[in-house]
Chain A
Amino acid sequence: AQSVTQPDIHITVSEGASLELRCNYSYGATPYLFWYVQSPGQGLQLLLKYFSGDTLVQGIKGFEAEFKRSQSSFNLRKPSVHWSDAAEYFCAVGPSIYNQGGKLIFGQGTELSVKP
């Protein structure tokens, strides 16, 4: 079955420190991959996406993610975290030949806390 796993439910990092949020997926082929961020009580904002091509993708707010086919991973990184980055982060997979519709499958989310 198609699935997305975010192993870390909650991560705390110090402001200015680097960040890596993990995402692993189970899919029959290379899917479309996304990272979304959700602030408390808000909807989801798209950070970045991977469809094909360069496996290192750049997003908004200084985030980047690297697609590693051999590890079925799409980890999100940021070199220096700001207090405003505190939020919940969701990894999602999208359409492929195994998922012809527009359905996004989300992970459970990782809550990021930033300490001063």
Chain B
Amino acid sequence: DAGVTQSPTHLIKTRGQQVTLRCSPISGHKSVSWYQQVLGQGPQFIFQYYEKEERGRGNFPDRFSARQFPNYSSELNVNALLLGDSALYLCASSRGQQETQYFGPGTRLLVL
């Protein structure tokens, strides 16, 4: 079975721009979570979606938003990019909201 897939793999943006990152979960998984990993640190929780509804949100500004589609794929949007948004953005999927999370390869975002 295919694992979690994310696109694009790399992205370069300038300050003030907007970006959309995409994630496809493992087949049969209904929950998607997003994490931000800044260089040298552990991943930080941004959002969790389950059955197309937001079920958890981390300590991130309103510039960050997400949604989940009927096929359980998900998008993460970040508006008004700042230099500090440069990071590896990881998507994880799980069968249910509180079940084991499996991670994708990530999207590396560089904001100049």
**Residues of B contacting A46 with CB < 8 Å?**
100-103
B73 interfacial by beta-carbon distance below 8 Å: no
- How many chain A residues touch B (CB < 8 A): the figure is 25
B15 interfacial by beta-carbon distance below 8 Å: no
Counting chain A CB atoms within 10 Å of each CB, which of B42, B50, B98, B106 scores highest? Answer: B42
Interface residues in chain B, defined as those with a beta carbon under 8 Å from any beta carbon in chain A? 4, 31, 33, 35, 41-45, 48, 50, 55-56, 58, 90, 92, 94, 97-106, 108
- The answer to whether B105 touches A104, judged by C-beta atoms less than 8 angstroms apart, is no
- The answer to whether B103 touches A45, judged by C-beta atoms less than 8 angstroms apart, is yes
- The answer to whether B106 touches A101, judged by C-beta atoms less than 8 angstroms apart, is no
Known contacts: A46-B100, A46-B102. The answer to whether A103 contacts B56 by CB under 8 A is yes
Subset of 15 A-B contacts with CB under 8 Å: A4-B42, A43-B4, A43-B103, A44-B43, A44-B92, A44-B103, A90-B42, A95-B97, A95-B98, A101-B98, A102-B97, A102-B101, A103-B33, A108-B41, A108-B42
- The answer to whether B48 touches A103, judged by C-beta atoms less than 8 angstroms apart, is yes
Q: A1 → chain B, closest Cβ, in Å?
A: 12
Known contacts: A44-B43, A106-B42, A109-B42. The answer to whether A101 contacts B97 by CB under 8 A is yes
Residue of A nearest to B4 (CB): A43
- The answer to whether A36 touches B94, judged by C-beta atoms less than 8 angstroms apart, is no
**Residues of B contacting A71 with CB < 8 Å?**
none
Residue of A nearest to B100 (CB): A49
Assembly CA distance A94 to B99 (angstroms) = 9
Assembly CA distance A108 to B37 (angstroms) = 10
Assembly CA distance A41 to B9 (angstroms) = 10
